[in-house]
C-alpha cells in the first residue's frame, strides 16, 4: 500500500492536480488500490517528464536526431522512428524526436514559401527543355553556316553541309553518353 495522491503531491512539491494529470497522461502509474508507491512513481516521473517539469535536475537522455536530408524521403516508416531506441522510448525521448521532426518540417516549408526550394518535377522538366533547345540549336547550325563556310573555303556547299552535320551529330552523341567519374 502506497501513499495518497495528495501526500505524493506534497512529497513531489507539486499540486495534486499535477499528479492527477501525470496519472491521466500515463507518466506515473498508481497502485491497484489507487495509492501511489512514491519510489516507483518518482522513477516514472523522472523518466517520462520533461526536465523543466520534473522537479529534479536530471539530464535528459540523448536522442539520435534524424538529419534534415532524411525529411521527406519515404522509407515506409516515420522519419523519427529510426531515432528511437529499439526497446521503446520514454515519453521525453518521443517528444524530443517529435519536436525535432516538426522543426525540420517547418524549416522546409519556410524555405519553400521563400522560393528557395522548388518542386523536383518542375526542375527536371525545365532542364529537359533547356537541353532539348540546346540540341535543336546545334542540329540547325550546319544549315545556317555551311553555305557561308563553303564559299569562304571554295568547296561544294552540299558536301560542307553534310560534313558539318555529321560532325555535329557525332559530337552530340558523344555528349549524350553517360560517363561516371570515380575519384
For the CA atoms of the chain, what is the radius of gyration?
34
Alpha carbon of residue 71 to chain centroid = 2
Q: How many CB atoms lie within 10 A of CB 23?
A: 17
Predicted confidence (pLDDT) per residue in 54-84, tens digit: 444 444 455 555 555 454 444 444 445 555 5
Reported confidence tier of residue 181, pLDDT bands at 50, 70, 90: confident
Residue 84 confidence (pLDDT): 53
Predicted confidence (pLDDT) per residue in 26-45, tens digit: 899 999 888 999 999 999 98
Reported confidence tier of residue 159, pLDDT bands at 50, 70, 90: very high
Mean pLDDT for the chain overall: 81
Report the C-alpha gap between 50 and 105 in whole angstroms.
Answer: 22
Report the C-alpha gap between 38 and 2 in whole angstroms.
Answer: 7
Nine cell digits for residue 106 = 517547418
Which pTM was predicted? 0.41
Nine cell digits for residue 180 = 561516371
Residue 166 confidence (pLDDT): 94
Predicted confidence (pLDDT) per residue in 123-156, tens digit: 889 999 999 999 999 999 999 999 999 999 999 9
Amino acid at each position: 500500500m502506497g501513499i495518497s495522491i495528495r501526500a505524493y503531491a506534497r512529497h513531489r512539491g507539486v499540486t495534486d492536480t499535477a499528479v492527477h494529470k501525470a496519472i491521466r497522461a500515463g507518466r506515473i502509474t498508481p497502485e491497484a488500490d489507487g495509492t501511489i508507491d512514491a519510489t516507483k512513481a518518482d522513477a516514472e516521473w523522472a523518466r517520462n517528464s520533461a526536465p523543466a517539469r520534473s522537479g529534479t535536475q536530471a539530464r535528459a537522455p540523448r536522442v539520435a536526431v534524424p538529419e534534415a536530408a532524411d525529411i521527406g524521403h519515404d522509407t515506409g516508416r516515420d522519419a523519427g522512428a529510426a531515432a528511437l531506441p529499439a526497446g521503446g522510448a520514454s515519453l521525453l525521448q518521443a517528444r524530443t524526436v517529435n519536436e525535432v521532426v516538426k522543426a525540420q518540417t517547418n524549416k522546409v516549408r519556410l524555405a519553400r514559401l521563400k522560393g528557395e526550394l522548388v518542386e523536383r518535377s518542375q526542375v527536371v522538366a525545365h532542364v529537359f527543355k533547356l537541353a532539348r533547345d540546346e540540341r535543336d540549336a546545334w542540329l540547325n547550325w550546319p544549315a545556317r553556316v555551311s553555305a557561308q563556310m563553303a564559299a569562304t573555303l571554295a568547296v561544294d556547299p552540299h558536301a560542307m553541309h553534310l560534313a558539318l552535320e555529321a560532325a555535329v551529330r557525332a559530337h552530340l552523341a558523344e555528349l549524350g553518353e553517360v560517363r561516371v567519374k570515380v575519384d
